[in-house]
Amino acid sequence: MSQYPDIFDLRNWDFTLLKRYKPVFSKPNKTCHLCAMGPCKLTPPAPPLLKGGDDGGLVRVGSGRVGKCGIDEKGFKAREALLDAVIGASGHVSHAARLAEDLINKFGKDCPVNMGSHTSMPTPITTLITGCTPKNIGEFKDILVYIEGQLIHLLSSVNFGTEASPEDFVSKMLHAGMLDNLAMELADVAQISAMNMPKGESNSPLVTIGIETIDTSKPVILIIGHNSTVAHEIMHLAEDRGLKDKIEVCGLCCAASDGARHSHGFKIIGNQASQIDVIKSGIADMVILDTQCIRADVVEEARKVDSIIIATTQETALGLKDLTGKSPDEASEYITRNGTGIILDKKKAAEAALKIVISEQWSVVRKRKEVEKMRSLEDEQKLLTSHPLNFSTSGLLRIGRGPIRDSEIRGVAPSIIMGDIPGIVGIFGCPEERQGSGVRDQGSEKPIPINSDSDV
């Protein structure tokens, strides 16, 4: 296999896989809006003698309705699927690049890759794809540049008048998936190494979970997103300044899981699906956002309950004012007065957050909202515990243990392959939001039965 493979390096192998495994495109959409010549309504191959074409697309007799650019229905659906794959991969790649940048700024480019003693191969995916085994996190930059370049080529294939073959679109989706996995490994190895997260040891620590575990008599800082550096900065700054027992730092979603991996006093209070309920409860005095899984109405809802918002990434700016160039004092003053602001420097954001939540000025606001907050928190707890998924179950959760040990995978690989011992399939994901948090438009186009899509 080629090192740093380009799209064509694995194309033949992808086609071999496609002969064996048929792809499924589950999106029900049949109308293309990609370019200014559209919209075009596309249909699968029609019976011979079908004629028409006066409502958008052209009709080829016997071959279904195609777009004005000539793309057929299978190509259109495969193209949409490639776009989805590139969007998803871009989220992880962007996160990995921003996280690596933050960690290099904080710990230096020579910060060693350290995945502990339980694995002899610290970066298995990276080594397989690139042929190199990075020794420090500074070396991740070149690999991320490779991934970013490949993603641009994949995105360009989605462009009007470029790729048309369903098989090639799917091959490119597999390429996007490979890049996505590579970026995810880099992000996790960087944070495990730099922030000394668990490295495969047994009995990783237990942390408290559940909204009920928050002491609302203290200022509450809630972190939502994926970039674990802001939680790291806040926890360390609070400790350095003797504020650790005077504030509550908690999180939702991935920011929470990763925050708890480096700081065991960090509380996980819910997942992405409970985001709007937690925000509306007013439990948070301060909400820190980074990127991904952030609800579009988070600023509006947070401000209704007097929660302050600090956004920390360029990807999720939400129309807020950028205060990165201001001093922590100036930024804090602006945010206290206006309720929102962006600070891209995570250390400065942490300083501003602490400064605000322990300030005299903010304690007046806190007192004003305290009664209301307690009442809404009670309602919220009832609401969450009545949910079928019971978001609010408090208890203990074992934090992510880090890399799989050699003894758990490579040492037993022959036995797993030969079927002597069972393998494990893990299926993970976030629960769906409860009814009433948003309305999903089912649209007029019905989902396409899987079988009709399975013959690319």
Contacts of 296 (CB under 8 A, 6+ apart): none
Spatial contact of 339 and 321, defined as CB atoms under 8 Å apart = no
Residue 57 CB, nearest distance to ligand SF4 (Å)? 7
Cα 383 from chain centroid? 26
Strand partners, 263: none
Residue number with CB closer to ligand SF4 (34 or 129):
34
Q: Is the peptide bond preceding residue 48 cis, with omega within 30 degrees of 0?
A: no
34 contributes a contact to ligand SF4 by CB under 6 A:
yes
Residue number with CB closer to ligand SF4 (39 or 138):
39
End-to-end CA distance of the chain: 26
Count CB atoms within 10 A of the CB of residue 26. Answer: 10
Residue number with CB closer to ligand SF4 (154 or 238):
154
Name the residue type at position 445.
E
Phi-psi domain of 359 (left: phi exceeds 0; alpha: psi -120 through 50; beta: other): beta
Q: Are strands 31-32 and 286-289 parallel, antiparallel or unpaired?
A: unpaired
Residue 348 CB, nearest distance to ligand SF4 (Å)? 44
Strand partners, 308: 286
Residue 155 CB, nearest distance to ligand SF4 (Å)? 14
Contact characters 41-80, ligand SF4, x per CB under 6 A: --------------------------xxx-x---------
- CA neighbor of 185 nearest in space, from 292, 114, 93: 93
Residue 32 CB, nearest distance to ligand SF4 (Å)? 3
Contact characters 235-254, ligand SF4, x per CB under 6 A: --------------------
* Residue listed under structure tokens 């893990």: 426
Q: Which of 5, 14, 23, 32 binds ligand SF4 (CB under 6 A)?
A: 32
- What are 260's two structure tokens? 């708890």
Spatial contact of 221 and 355, defined as CB atoms under 8 Å apart = no
Residue 429 CB, nearest distance to ligand SF4 (Å)? 31
Spatial contact of 43 and 445, defined as CB atoms under 8 Å apart = no
Sole window of 27-35, 165-173, 281-289, 366-374 interacting with ligand SF4 (rule: CB under 6 A): 27-35
87 contributes a contact to ligand SF4 by CB under 6 A:
no
Residue 157 CB, nearest distance to ligand SF4 (Å)? 13
Separation between Cα atoms, residue 288 and residue 223, nearest integer Å = 5
Residue number with CB closer to ligand SF4 (66 or 129):
66
278 contributes a contact to ligand SF4 by CB under 6 A:
no
Residue 45 CB, nearest distance to ligand SF4 (Å)? 16
Residue number with CB closer to ligand SF4 (34 or 283):
34
Separation between Cα atoms, residue 201 and residue 224, nearest integer Å = 27
Separation between Cα atoms, residue 449 and residue 440, nearest integer Å = 20
Residue number with CB closer to ligand SF4 (4 or 160):
160
Q: Which of 160, 237, 243, 306 binds ligand SF4 (CB under 6 A)?
A: 160
Residue number with CB closer to ligand SF4 (38 or 44):
38
Residue 161 CB, nearest distance to ligand SF4 (Å)? 8
Spatial contact of 390 and 363, defined as CB atoms under 8 Å apart = no
Residue number with CB closer to ligand SF4 (38 or 339):
38
Count CB atoms within 10 A of the CB of residue 35. Answer: 14
Residue number with CB closer to ligand SF4 (68 or 118):
68
- What are 337's two structure tokens? 């007065």
Residue number with CB closer to ligand SF4 (40 or 254):
40
What does the angle CA 398 – CA 400 – CA 404 come to, to the nearest 5 degrees?
A: 120
Separation between Cα atoms, residue 120 and residue 200, nearest integer Å = 12
Count CB atoms within 10 A of the CB of residue 386. Answer: 11
For helices 346-357 and 229-240, give the axis angle rounded to 10 degrees. Answer: 50
37 contributes a contact to ligand SF4 by CB under 6 A:
yes
What are phi and psi for residue 392, nearest 5 degrees? Answer: -90, 5
Size of the site for ligand SF4 (CB under 6 A): 13
Q: Which of 38, 138, 205, 265 binds ligand SF4 (CB under 6 A)?
A: 38
Residue number with CB closer to ligand SF4 (56 or 265):
56
83 contributes a contact to ligand SF4 by CB under 6 A:
no
209 contributes a contact to ligand SF4 by CB under 6 A:
no
Q: Which of 35, 59, 184, 409 binds ligand SF4 (CB under 6 A)?
A: 35
Sole window of 37-45, 119-127, 289-297, 398-406 interacting with ligand SF4 (rule: CB under 6 A): 37-45
Residue 404 CB, nearest distance to ligand SF4 (Å)? 43
Contacts of 161 (CB under 8 A, 6+ apart): 69
40 contributes a contact to ligand SF4 by CB under 6 A:
yes
Contacts to ligand SF4 by CB under 6 A: 32-35, 37-40, 67-69, 71, 160
